[in-house]
Amino acid sequence: MAKGSNQNVAARFFDRVGRSSVSALEEMGRHGILVVESLYWLVVGPRMNQPVRLGAVFAEMMEIGVRAIGIIGIMAAAIGAMLAIQGIHSLKIFGAEGHVVFGVAFSMVREFAPLITGILVAGRSGSALSARLGTMKINQELDALEVMGINPVRFLVVPSLLASLVMVPVLTFMSMVLGLYAGALYVNAALGMSLAAFFDQTIDVLSVDDLMHGIGKAAIFGALIALIGVLNGFLVKGGAEGVGKATTRSVVQCISAIVITDMLFALVATF
Amino acid sequence: MSDDQNTKPQTGPQTVIEVRDLVTHYGPRQILNGVNVDIVEGEIMIIMGGSGSGKSTFLRHLMALQRPTSGTIKILGEDVWKLPQKKLFELRKKLGVAFQGGALFSSMTVGENIMLPLYEHTKLDRQTMEIMARMKLEVVDLAGFEDLMPSELSGGMIKRAAVARAVIMDPRILFFDEPSAGLDPVVSSQLDDLILRLRDAMGMTICVVTHELESAFKIADRITVLDQGNILFVGTVDELHNHPSERIQNLLNRRSEEAEIDADEYLRRLTGDKEEAEGMPR
């Protein structure tokens, strides 16, 4: 009896694992299809009289990028200052506070700027994309687009994807500058190092590769945020509650995808 | 109601929608079981049926929004699911749809909503598009509302604005999904008058899904009654009234048909024995 019960528990466990794996694979496949479809409309759209409207791309850039400058700037500055504070505190043990610039520069440019920007854009725009598309779906606005002969991927997804691909790296660059500047201000106050000396050392230690590492990652984060946000919106079922669930799911998936991609990127880049 | 209003157009009408052996499933559940219908040019065809009869699914097929399991749907002579994508887009420009909730884009003004198909499919300048949008708003008695957001309109106004958007490209076929749903009788009657006006003024073929009998009898040239995924009846209002079928008379007289439930099976259903209760009427 107990043996049978254990077998049942094991069967249910493997059944759940199997289903989750298939569902995860299915979702990855959907993301792939969405990428291919977006590229298709970007390239083929104009020939089918369905061009991607630049106006829509700029509107999305405004929403995803420009309106996020304030909060991302504040967060980046706080992280830059925090790195400087922690750096000086740790290096003091070895009497090497002067080397804090290395830590701040590398951490900010390679890790923290893309990460904090990605997470904030995910929280702001990934969730907004899911909520907007989900609401459009339950209000039959997506059906209305189809019936009007307007492809929803071309009309809604491609502008968001392009805007995110451009704006997340731009915001990341801004985060790098502001984070370094905040770090420099703290180092100046704590160690008396001039801003010019801080930035001279920063330029000395950083290479173009470091900058591209951060910016390249940010572009991938941007694509992930748009795709995850859009797909969760398209898959909404069951009214307002469904929209809420999709929004939450979108933020969780975006942040998880960003952190895992960041880890993989670090692994590959430092191998 | 005049006699000629409820008869099929006589002057050699051309079939604009031809549905043959349409079968649809949602998962294992069969929704439409081999439906055959012809809709001819210039007529108002009403699709009726109780809840779960498959009429909304049928409408999605007619609007080329959903691919069937099997069967063919020809719209304006074109087999919609065999068309290349570009031609399907071209075909869709000849269709207009007024959805149940209006489906206006909440981020755009009423005017922008109406102009969207023009903006996407034509090279007209902004001023011409605005004039056309105002003309259509005049047709639906919403002149002067173009700068309002959809959230500022009442339910009836949203439906009329949706009609204005649906007719902006002068479509050949116009679909309405439950136009009277959620409206008071006066507004509902005004919307019926608008549907008749559109057919008479623009010569459109109009297909309406509704369960409002009064509205259906007022505007229909012909009525299709769907029942559990099958076509129960296609014909004029008079033919419908005189039809001998008990199911149709029950529908017309709003009598519900309660299937007799076996006590043992009912108990099994309550206790959750699904396999045993599978054969139960639902």
All structural domains of chain B: 34-94+173-237 (3.40.50.300), 103-170 (no CATH), 244-282 (no CATH)
Cβ contact A48–B89 (<8 Å)? yes
CB contact set of A237 (below 8 Å; sequence gap of 6+): none
C-alpha neighbours within 13 Å on the C-beta side of residue B56: 11
Residue A217 has pLDDT above 90, yes or no: yes
Cβ contact A150–B106 (<8 Å)? no
Which 61-90 residues of chain B touch chain A by CB within 8 A? 63-65, 85-86, 89-90
Residue A100 confidence (pLDDT): 92
Sequence length of chain A is: 271
Q: Min CA distance, A263 vs chain B (Å)?
A: 38
Residue A271 has pLDDT above 80, yes or no: no
Residue A105 confidence (pLDDT): 94
The answer to which of A66-80, A174-188, B121-135, B236-250 has the lowest mean pLDDT is B236-250
- Report d(CA B282, CA B131) in Å as an integer: 53
What percent of chain B shows pLDDT beyond 90?
A: 42
Residue, of B249 and A135, whose pLDDT is higher: A135
Residue A4 confidence (pLDDT): 65
Sorting pLDDT into bands at 50, 70 and 90, what band is B178? confident
C-alpha neighbours within 13 Å on the C-beta side of residue B255: 8
Phi then psi for residue B19, to 5 deg, are: -110, 130
Q: Which of B139, B81, B133 has the alpha carbon at shortest distance from B110?
A: B133
Average pLDDT over residues A72-88: 95
Residue A93 has pLDDT above 50, yes or no: yes
Residue B256 has pLDDT above 80, yes or no: no
Sorting pLDDT into bands at 50, 70 and 90, what band is B89? confident
Q: Average pLDDT of chain A?
A: 91
Residue B232 confidence (pLDDT): 87
Average pLDDT over residues B70-88: 91
Cβ contact B103–A150 (<8 Å)? no
Phi then psi for residue A201, to 5 deg, are: -65, -40
- Report d(CA A82, CA A116) in Å as an integer: 13
Cβ contact A149–B92 (<8 Å)? yes
Helices (H), B203-262: 213-219, 237-241, 246-252
Q: Average pLDDT of chain B?
A: 85
CB contact set of B233 (below 8 Å; sequence gap of 6+): B223, B224, B225, B239, B240, B243, B245, B248
Sorting pLDDT into bands at 50, 70 and 90, what band is B1? very low
pLDDT digits 0-9 by tens, B163-172: 999 999 999 9
Sorting pLDDT into bands at 50, 70 and 90, what band is B185? confident
Q: Of all helices (H) and strands (E), which one includes residue B18?
A: strand B15-26
CB contact set of B182 (below 8 Å; sequence gap of 6+): B155
Pick from A143, A147, A150: which is nearest to B120 by CB? A150
Residue A185 confidence (pLDDT): 96
Q: Which residues in chain B are closer than 8 Å to A140, comparing Cβ atoms? A: 99-101, 103
Burial of B50 (0-12, 13-18, 19+ CB in 10 A): middle
Residue, of A224 and A47, whose pLDDT is higher: A224
- Report d(CA B198, CA B192) in Å as an integer: 10
Sorting pLDDT into bands at 50, 70 and 90, what band is B273? low
Most confident of A236-240, A266-270, B129-133: B129-133
Distance (Å) of CA B257 to CA B244, B246, B250, B253, B278? 16, 10, 8, 11, 20
Q: Which residues in chain B are closer than 8 Å to A146, comparing Cβ atoms? A: 65, 92
What percent of chain A shows pLDDT beyond 90?
A: 68
Tokens of A60: 């999305």
Tokens of B162: 């949706």
Q: Min CA distance, B247 vs chain A (Å)?
A: 32
- Report d(CA B166, CA A144) in Å as an integer: 9
Buried b (16+ CB within 10 A) or exposed e, A45-61: beebebebbeebbeebb
Residue B281 confidence (pLDDT): 47
The answer to which of A16-30, B141-155, B219-233 has the lowest mean pLDDT is A16-30
Average pLDDT over residues B48-58: 85
Closest residue in B to A145 (Cα) is B117
Residue, of A86 and B8, whose pLDDT is higher: A86
Q: Which residues in chain B are closer than 8 Å to A150, comparing Cβ atoms? A: 116-117, 120
pLDDT digits 0-9 by tens, A101-149: 999 999 999 999 999 999 999 999 999 999 999 999 999 999 999 999 8
Residue B5 has pLDDT above 50, yes or no: no
CB contact set of A266 (below 8 Å; sequence gap of 6+): A110, A111
pLDDT digits 0-9 by tens, B26-42: 888 888 888 999 999 99
Residue A253 confidence (pLDDT): 93
Pick from A146, A150, A151: which is nearest to B65 by CB? A146
Residue B137 has pLDDT above 50, yes or no: yes
Q: Does B106 touch chain A (CB under 8 A)?
A: yes
Residue A2 confidence (pLDDT): 59
Residue B127 has pLDDT above 60, yes or no: yes
Q: Does B193 touch chain A (CB under 8 A)?
A: no
